[in-house]
Amino acid sequence: MIQTLDHKDQQVAQSIRSVFQASYAIEAKLLNATDFPPLKRALEEYLESRNTFYGYYLAEDLAGVVEVKVEESNTHIQSLVVHPRFFRQGIGSALVQFVLENYNTKTFTVETGLANEPAKDLYYGFNFRKVKEYDTEFGIRKIAFLMRRG
């Protein structure tokens, strides 16, 4: 179900970008954002990323993607998206669980738009705690989360 995605491959990167575009279009509406930087992410940015991408497949469909950035003692969930056709099916939870089980850092961080209630509920459900709220230069209110292990 969940596998590493070779985002350096043009076709794979296009599939990743397609899921990101569909999901972020919904998030932009949730946040009332008219200028939403994730929707402007070019294909080249996926191809050149140093992050790791994992995909959740349902049959042949790439239903969700998590992008992970590993830092010295922290794992940052850079992005987590689920294609709108597959919302509310546990895919986001499965991807978060996968990251928590496969990375051995003491802390995990993630951010989302403050008005994105489904994402906030997801992270709170995994014992992430709010560490701050802030405004971006694009007028989007964000919330940053942290989860510490034992």
Q: What are phi and psi of 95, to 5 degrees?
A: -70, -40
Handedness of CA 90, 8, 145, 138 (dihedral sign): negative
Q: Nearest-CA neighbor of 150 among 116, 108, 106, 110? A: 106
Task: Give residue 70's pLDDT.
Answer: 94
- Residues 7-43: tens digit of each pLDDT: 999 999 999 999 999 999 999 998 988 889 899 999 9
Q: What is the pTM of this model?
A: 0.94
- Residues 38-87: tens digit of each pLDDT: 999 999 999 999 999 999 999 999 999 999 999 989 999 999 999 999 99
- Residues 94-109: tens digit of each pLDDT: 999 999 999 999 999 9
Phi-psi region of 75 (alpha: psi -120 to 50; beta: other; left: phi over 0): beta
Task: Give residue 15's pLDDT.
Answer: 98
